[in-house]
Structure 1
């Protein structure tokens, strides 16, 4: 989908990848709310896809025309509500784990807010330089934060897929939040780890700087497919005009 709104343009796409039969990722674009969401399900077919779809469905029910602060609270509440529903579903099915990551981006009044859990990510490219705005909730994240490896190197660690936080997993869900300015010319990327397993910071930065909005999402997905495409791949690019 490729849509233009008065101050923001975006492109979003999800691809099942080359190895899996089911796409357990979900993607949501709410340009009227200035909210974009990627969720990556875990727990196998009819579990992971249920969880990721429930999260995006819950967020999609946010009332229109809310003030920015109320909209942010509604976004958090929708994710927390999804957590409770997914846990109840896991109990009803008698399974140990149903869950999903979430990375949500909201723009308002010249600012952005990112709310996330898991290892789906939000990046911002400003003046040609990429910045990872989120920090993975994963076993290898502590190694990155202590300076023992980079995020690119962490993608190749044997425990790179072991996440420590997800919607639907554990009694209470702790969501992290990042906020900052959103200036004209900024380009945001929201994606699942199906992209970042194969695309380094430099690769993402080069594509985000070189490609127009109409082709940037397809180009990023193609990098993941060329690298093996063993996971579902979901990419949203949002341009602040």
Structure 2
């Protein structure tokens, strides 16, 4: 039977006191916590399977509340995400839910989160994001980013920037979002990496590509995590590898 294997890991890194990242894989969510070891889940191919990360906005309150709210919404909506419009509608709903939860609560005021993920269908994948969390495709043709960053160009001499131009929530007044959603053909052996910037900021793309070119599953997850930690672990690091098998 064709299946999708998802290996996930979430860690606060070495600098942050709290983990404000969250993750969803099908009905399973991981919110603001720590996985001591990579966790692997296997799902039959067919019913829409959503795998996504959400990165609560640093410097603003309750990032872990916003990110967990979004992944739990996506977990509930996951089986209905059968096309691009369904994904866009789900992300609009998540955006409204973050604003609604913050309304009138000073402890949650302006909380927000990014989100990025992939919905695996029987013969295609829906890639989506709002913010600067990322989705990469690792295939025989190579390794490349397939999400679209909502961030300005980094300053001269720097590889990354922490600024974002679009998030779910995150403002004092309601603002709509325009999610990036694309459909990609899906074949046995295709692999995706869904991750927060706690992985991509300290680890260059070529380093991540090298790990995924050499390893798979839990070993790949461990090596990715180790790379982020050895680079200083400056932020929460959360990611999932997604592999489609015949």
Q: TM tier, shorter chain?
A: 0.7 to 0.9
So what's the TM-score if we normalise by structure 1? 0.84
Which ranges of structure 1 fall in alignment gaps of 5 or more residues? none
In structure 1, the partner of 2:76 is 61
Q: Distance in 2 between matches of 1:211 and 1:182?
A: 21
On the 8 A contact 1:55/1:78 being kept in 2, the answer is no
- Counterpart-to-counterpart distance in 1, 2:178 and 2:148: 14
Match of 2:116 in 1: 103
Please provide the CA RMSD for this pair.
Answer: 2.3
Q: 1:154 aligns with which of 153, 159, 171?
A: 159
CA distance in 2, matches of 1:99, 1:22: 16
> TM-score normalised to the size of structure 2?
0.82
Task: Report the CA distance between 1:7 and its aligned residue.
Answer: 2.0
Give the helix-richer structure, 1 or 2. 1
Shift of 1:89: 3.1
Establish whether residue 124 from structure 1 lines up as the match of residue 137 from structure 2. yes
Give the Cα–Cα distance (whole angstroms) in 2 for the partners of residues 202 and 26 of structure 1: 25
Return the offset for 1:44.
4.9
Structure 2 Cα separation of the partners of residues 118 and 171 of structure 1: 14
Q: C-alpha separation between the residues in 2 aligned to 1:96 and 1:187? A: 38
Structure 2 residue aligned with 1:230: 234
Provide the C-alpha distance between the structure 1 equivalents of 2:200 and 2:72, rounded to a whole number of angstroms: 25
With over 3 angstroms needed to count, the CA separation of the structure-2 counterparts of 1:67 and 1:220, relative to structure 1, is closer
Segments of structure 2 that go 5 or more residues without pairing to the other structure are: 27-42
* Structure 1 Cα separation of the partners of residues 181 and 7 of structure 2: 23
Check whether the contact 2:49–2:78 (CA below 8 A) recurs between aligned residues.
no
